[in-house]
Chains A and B, each alone.
Chain A
């Protein structure tokens, strides 16, 4: 059916309120079932053997002693996951990452797996697998990897995106370039130029729930999987492709998800669990130990970024340039490209150029992490912008306002912007009382902006009206942080009924059409659009039913506040029919009433935020304390403001951890030295202040209610906001994230020597 997604001004009854979430009671009573909370009859315990080497040729794997151990039901290696990828290099890389084939490419790379009657037996079986490795030279550091004589992660990778094709293989898998104008000409017009190299270290999404699944491969070639994922439809497709199963024969149910932040958009153990189940002929539960989560799943890129920005005395930026190197782990991806695209997206620039380099290293495969690649680019650019403002002698907020992108600006990555929120968030920051609050000794204030594209994508939703007039909403995007509450509000709004009369659930892959991954901040944006469409389709059915009950033409029926109303001359005296009355009559008027929606949610409005942060630095120890933090972000329309604030606060907290403390630490041997929450320390409750939020609502013209994605942008500004605050507190520019105490002390020492 035709669906008009254009924004229309509307007075809301349900949207914008803050009811308790429908999955809430299960979650406070311990009844909600996550990835590891599900069991099947005859289930076996799975376990994975991982490479202790950063880079090694796998000469031989002897599993004979493991197979003979009593209670072991299956042992698999790459030989049990034959290559069915048919020249699809992206899919091949996923297969190779799930189970190493010829080489182990990082410390933690899976090389074999077992399924046994219990965890004890599975652990013992792993010890009995003998792997013969030929250890190869490795490279961990992103800058060292691009040096001419660096060990090659792959002998057959030649830098793509360069013409002519290079003759020598390289760890730079791809070069990409964005921008417009003439930057050299622009730099000649500049009175001030800031040029600096910035580095960020690798961080992990740090979801509290480790990856977990139960796979059951049946004798008839069908299979079921229960898994914590951000996209069960995509997991189904990937697993089906890798194992040679028809998509319709693999049913994937997404469990409650204990955090993902992008890290659960990729398959890791799921194909392995299916292969184990296929070989053992029994269901297999596979749960990643926390150490494996750090060593073998999810981290974001480590980066090295050169930025050069020039401006005139009046504060007009004349040219901006960035050269970005992002580590990808051992497989090519588009992390540097996303960095290049996002780096200057906040500004209206005549001359801009950003170049991305995808760098292969012997670290785990880089994965999406909340607005992937944008925080590092924003750290570099927003630090340079701040430094430039200081050089010119302008207030950093006013300098940004002067150069901010606006409606009609051609963005640095190509598209021309519609109505956007960067200017309003900056103006709100300028006017915020936080900006005028006094600071004490050793304290500094910083601010920074952030951008994220947001995504829409393929979405399918069912809305079923029960005989009692209550509504079940089945969605195919995963609820990562309150989406079922938001979508229930939207259904209630559109139908004109109460929130309590709607129950939203996440449907499995066999009961609903395909949905894209829940990424790109698309969950509430795209599924609310599909929910509105499904509700309007259900309303069309209910109007037909009411027309039949009244025996009048359907053209004479309108839908208002949960009721069918007869309109037009001659029907005015008919009392309205409520949704409940129409639902109760359904068996006699044509059967069940439902609304379906399948659409591509185009037009996800871009998102901007501005953050303000106060920091105190202890000059004796280099320790930092976040004193005050304010997030200002455009939500388009906040459907459930509590969960919008939650996204703002959560992204800020992750950014604070990244900026001040979190990093992957590797030894000379290429092994990860801190694969646990003790040594990879994410912010705890006593590290943080309250995080203030201000929601701006600049309607997205491409959504009926004006909604924009809100999940990711909040992690983009913190690295730079905190770096600017620390730099202002200590009087020296910090250009290496995280700003851990040793790095701050070292910067203070450098300042003393100057």
Chain B
């Protein structure tokens, strides 16, 4: 037996999983746990499609080993809505048509959520730099930035 046993918390639930030493957190989420919302666009940390929150920090899950999830808290796109209630960012992305193919969308939502938790009132430039680690090839980013601006307003109660 060469697999490593990992106990971790994903979207608030305790999870036990076996993984091989070289498997990334992204591999574990997608192939071992069926959480395919995080996407592999590059496998080298350049595209951000696999973004998750690890112990409160935004990371590319393709750059984290599965074994490193031991004892940590992971938040993925699958945990962003509370039941049927979408997060304001999710609603805003839909209303602003901030997605075309949608494959980068989970990563953008995770990165935008991380931004708004740290900075509830970001300028356009701050949004653009906070999201610069996430590649989108469809939209030209215009509607994504507007969706984040609008969600920030909603979340402030405005």
Q: A753 contacts the other chain (Cβ, under 8 Å)?
A: no
**A438 at interface by CB-CB < 8 Å:** no
Q: What CA separation (Å) do A687 and B137 show in the bound complex?
A: 13
Q: Does A482 sit within 8 A of B, measured CB to CB?
A: yes
- Tell whether, in the assembled complex, residue A30 and residue B76 are in contact, meaning their CB atoms are under 8 Å apart: yes
Give which listed residue, B36, B81, B140, contacts A688 with CB less than 8 A.
B140
* Option from B20, B35, B103, B142 in Cβ contact (under 8 Å) with A209: B103
Which residues in A have their C-beta under 8 angstroms from that of B141?
653, 683, 685, 688
User: Within 8 Å of chain B (Cβ to Cβ): is A31?
Assistant: yes
B132 at the A/B interface (Cβ < 8 Å)?
yes
Q: Contact at A21–B81, with CB atoms within 8 Å?
A: no
Closest 4 CB pairs of A and B: A30-B37, A258-B103, A653-B140, A27-B102
Question: Does B121 sit within 8 A of A, measured CB to CB?
Answer: no
Q: Is the CB of A685 within 8 A of B144?
A: yes
In contact, B80 and A650 (Cβ under 8 angstroms)? no
7 A-B pairs, CB-CB below 8 angstroms?
Answer: A23-B102, A120-B22, A207-B101, A208-B136, A643-B100, A685-B131, A690-B146
Please judge, given known A-B contacts A208-B137, A259-B138, A653-B141, whether A482 and B100 are in contact too, CB under 8 Å.
Answer: yes
Q: Are A649 and B90 also in contact (CB < 8 A) when A32-B102, A685-B144 are? A: no
Known: A27-B105, A28-B86. A21 touches B97 (CB 8 A): yes
Output the least CB separation between A681 and chain B (Å). 9
A650 proximity list for chain B (CB < 8 A)? 100, 137-140
Residues of B within 8 A of A643 (CB): 97, 100
Query: What 1/0 mask marks residues of chain A from 194 to 231 whose CB sits below 8 Å from any chain B CB?
Result: 00000000000111111000000000000000000000
Tally of contact residues, B, Cβ under 8 A: 58
- Tell me the smallest distance from the CB of A514 to a CB of chain B, in Å: 24
* Contact stretch, chosen from A5-13, A33-41, A51-59: A33-41
Q: Which residues of B contact A29 (CB under 8 A)?
A: 37, 77-78, 80-81, 86, 90
Q: Are B97 and A684 in contact (CB under 8 A)?
A: no
| Residue A678 interfacial (CB < 8 Å) | yes
Main secondary structure of the interface of A (DSSP, over half): loop
A18 CB → nearest B CB, Å: 7
Contact: B47 with A208, CB < 8 Å?
yes
Kindly state the separation between the CA atoms of A646 and B94 in the bound complex, as whole angstroms.
Answer: 13
Q: Are A684 and B100 in contact (CB under 8 A)?
A: no
The residue that A685 contacts in the complex, of B30, B128, B138, with Cβ under 8 A, is B128
CB distance from B20 to the nearest CB of A (A): 6
- Considering residues A480, A481, A677, A685, which has the most beta carbons from chain B within 10 angstroms of its beta carbon? A685
A682 within 8 Å of B (CB atoms) = yes
A41 to chain B, nearest CB (A): 14
B42, B125, B128, B133 — most chain A CB neighbours (10 Å): B42
Contact B39 A209 (CB under 8 A): yes
If A646-B138, A677-B47 touch, whether A259 touches B93 (CB-CB below 8 Å) is no
Would A120 and B128 count as touching, CB distance under 8 A? no
Residues on B with C-beta less than 8 A from A206 are 135, 137
User: Known contacts being A31-B37, A676-B46, A677-B44, is A25 close to B100, with CB within 8 Å?
Assistant: no
List the B residue with the shortest CB-CB distance to A208.
Answer: B41
Quote the shortest CB–CB distance from A715 to chain B (angstroms): 11
Neighbouring A residues of B140 by C-beta, 8 Å: 646, 649-650, 652-653, 683, 688, 691
Contacts of B42 in A (CB 8 A): 290, 676-677
Binding site for B on A (CB under 8 A): 18, 20-21, 23-25, 27-34, 36-37, 118-120, 205-210, 256-261, 287, 289-290, 480-482, 642-643, 645-646, 649-650, 652-654, 676-678, 682-688, 690-691
Asked whether, in the complex, the Cβ of B81 is within 8 Å of the Cβ of A684, the reply is: no
Residue of A nearest to B141 (CB): A685
User: Which of B46, B136, B140 neighbours the largest number of chain A CB atoms within 10 Å of its CB?
Assistant: B140
Which of A18, A21, A32, A206 has the most chain B CB atoms closer than 10 A to its own CB?
A: A32
List which B36-83 residues lie within 8 A (CB) of chain A. 36-44, 46-47, 49, 76-78, 80-81
Q: Cβ of A259 and Cβ of B135 under 8 Å apart?
A: no
- With a cutoff of 8 Å between Cβ atoms, the chain B residues found around residue A27 in the complex are 99, 102, 105
Distance, CA A649 to CA B98, complexed state (A): 11
Asked whether, in the complex, the Cβ of A258 is within 8 Å of the Cβ of B132, the reply is: no
The interface residues of chain B lying within 8 Å CB-to-CB of A481 are: 100-101, 138
Confirm or deny: B109 has a beta carbon within 8 angstroms of a beta carbon on chain A: yes
Measured CB to CB, the closest approach of chain A to B10, in angstroms, equals 13
Task: For B38, list chain A residues within 8 Å (CB).
Answer: 30
Complex Cα distance, B49 from A34, in Å, reads 13
Most chain-B Cβ atoms within 10 A of its Cβ — which of A30, A481, A650? A30
Contact in complex: B135, A677 (CB < 8 Å): yes
Binary CB contact string for chain B from 141 to 158 against chain A (1 if under 8 A, 0 otherwise): 111111000000000000
Do A28 and B137 touch across chains, with their CB atoms under 8 A apart?
A: no
User: Would A34 and B39 be within 8 Å (CB), given that A677-B44, A686-B128 are in contact?
Assistant: yes
Contact, CB under 8 Å: B97 / A642: yes
Q: State whether A37 touches B36 (Cβ < 8 A).
A: yes
What's the least CB distance linking A100 to chain B, in Å? 25
Closest chain B CB from A679 CB (angstroms)? 9
Chain A residues closer than 8 Å to B136, beta-carbon distance: 208, 685
Q: Does B25 interact with chain A (Cβ within 8 Å)? A: no
A480 to B144, CA, bound (A): 17
B134 at the interface (CB under 8 A from A): yes
CB-based nearest B residue for A656: B140
Contacts of A120 in B (CB 8 A): 20, 22
How many angstroms from the CA of A474 to the CA of B132 in the assembled complex? 37
A499 to B137, CA, bound (A): 28
B97 touches A482 (CB 8 A): yes
Q: Which residue of A lies closest to B125 (CB)?
A: A686
A sample of 14 more A-B contacts (CB under 8 A), given A24-B93, A208-B41, is A20-B95, A27-B99, A34-B103, A207-B137, A257-B101, A258-B102, A258-B104, A481-B100, A646-B140, A649-B142, A653-B139, A678-B44, A688-B142, A690-B146
A25, chain B: closest CB distance, angstroms: 7
B41 touches A290 (CB 8 A): yes
Among B40, B129, B143, contact of A649 (Cβ-Cβ < 8 Å): B143
Q: Chain A residues near B133: list those with CB within 8 A.
A: 684
